[in-house]
Amino acid sequence: MRVVHVDPATSWRGGERQVLALAEELARQGIDGTVVASPNSPLAERAARAHVPVETVRAAGDLDPLAIARIGRIYRRHRPDVVHLHTARAHAVGGIAARLTGTRPVVVTRRLELPARGAFGRWKYRHLADHYIAISEAVESSLLTAGVPKQRVRRIPSGIPLPLPATREARSGRGRVIGTLAAFTPQKDPAAWVETVRRCAAADPDLRFVWAGEGELRGSVEVAIREAGLEGRVRLPGFLADLDSFWAEVDVFLLTSAFEALGTVLLDAMAHAVPIVATPVGGIPEVVRDGREGRLAGDPATLAAAVAELVERPEERRRLGAAGRARAEEYRLDHLARRVADLYEELAGARA
């Protein structure tokens, strides 16, 4: 079976990581894949280093005619059994290219729980895919709201590539480092993060905070940190190619998202046996169950209180971390990729 994956994003975030990990795992399971990515993008470069076949197309917009034509030529050249589109823009340009070239079936993975916007968005979801993969129940609900029939939606969450990281022993005594790994975007609600950190820092002078990542709101976060007098307490190391040191120092993982389809970084935290404090939005409660793998709280005051509790209770951090590690086993990528492959075979067989 041959699959063409399309993701023209120019950034490297959780979705792009999932595309590459899925393509690699499917190859191990005997499914040949080609990734269509933006030129010089992190996805294109990492896929090439991983020996995953890559084609490059720059998509300047959802209706970019050059991108549509180039992707159409890739379909004709590769003659895939399945086209798998991984972003909203891929859904547009890749879906139109498939429609124009008669390439089917088309699968779209939806990684946002936000509803389809505008007439084109609603039309796209009704006409430019044969089947959808929803990574969470929240995403599935948004697809059904957009008018996608339930029989055309399969819920398959994001996965954790193998091998899972070696477990580390939770530090005894008080926790001291609160960590966040995310892009600086409105989705992650940096203002709520700064306010949570401000409350934590005011209550406990020993705490230190680290947010690793990049994004368009980093500058505003730096300003807010200075205004709150937190420069000596907060580190923003930027993008980290090697995350081992990050996970090794973090006692509690904090995520203050305003909306989140699933939160693949939470899977990483659980795989590293790091207890979680997060907001109960979107698909997060499907992954992190309150009181079992972490604490869920809806505003900076209750988030800070949850952090303070875990800082003072090493045994509770150890319990939540161990439960998270066990939970992470349920998101093994090899098992989830097999479910994706089963969907491919089902759709391709029906098409034949």
pLDDT in tens, 201-233: 999 999 999 999 999 999 999 999 999 999 999
pLDDT bracket for residue 257 (50, 70, 90): very high
pLDDT bracket for residue 165 (50, 70, 90): confident
For range 93-113, the mean pLDDT: 96
**Cα 75 to Cα 20, 109, 345, distances in angstroms:** 19, 18, 18
% of the chain residues with pLDDT over 90: 89
Candidate ranges 160-164, 166-170, 176-180; pick with highest mean pLDDT: 176-180
pLDDT for the residue 3: 98
Q: For 276-294, how does the pLDDT look when each residue is reduced to its tens digit (9 = 90+)?
A: 999 999 999 999 999 999 9
Angle of CA points 230, 232, 233, to nearest 5°: 65
Q: Is 305 inside any structural domain?
A: yes
Q: Are residues 147 and 83 in the same domain?
A: yes
The alpha-carbon radius of gyration of the chain (Å, integer) is 21
Q: Are residues 296 and 187 in the same domain?
A: yes
Q: Are residues 132 and 181 in the same domain?
A: no
For range 145-173, the mean pLDDT: 83
Q: Are residues 155 and 7 in the same domain?
A: yes
CA dist 262 and 283 (Å) reads: 4
**Cα 221 to Cα 34, 213, 268, distances in angstroms:** 38, 12, 24
Q: For 182-191, how does the pLDDT look when each residue is reduced to its tens digit (9 = 90+)?
A: 999 999 999 9
Q: Is 171 inside any structural domain?
A: no
What CATH number is attached to the domain comprising 137?
A: 3.40.50.2000
Largest CA distance in the chain: 65
- Structural domains of the chain, count: 2
With 80 as the cut, is the pLDDT of residue 274 above it? yes
Q: Are residues 100 and 203 in the same domain?
A: no
Q: Which domain holds residue 140?
A: 2-161+332-351
CA dist 114 and 141 (Å) reads: 10
pLDDT for the residue 299: 97
Compute the mean pLDDT over every residue in the chain, rounded to the nearest whole number.
Answer: 94
Strand-pair category, 32-37 with 234-238: unpaired
pLDDT bracket for residue 112 (50, 70, 90): confident
CA dist 266 and 284 (Å) reads: 8
Contacts 24+ apart (CB under 8 A), 331-335: 331/157, 331/158, 331/159, 331/160, 331/267, 331/287, 332/159, 332/160, 332/162, 332/164, 333/21, 333/22, 333/25, 333/159, 333/160, 333/161, 333/162, 334/25, 334/28, 334/29, 334/159, 334/162, 335/159
Q: Are residues 226 and 135 in the same domain?
A: no
Q: For 37-79, how does the pLDDT look when each residue is reduced to its tens digit (9 = 90+)?
A: 999 999 999 999 999 999 999 999 999 999 999 999 999 999 9
CA dist 104 and 75 (Å) reads: 10
pLDDT bracket for residue 319 (50, 70, 90): very high
Q: Are residues 106 and 58 in the same domain?
A: yes
pLDDT for the residue 121: 85
With 70 as the cut, is the pLDDT of residue 167 above it? no
Q: Is 32 inside any structural domain?
A: yes
Q: Are residues 103 and 207 in the same domain?
A: no
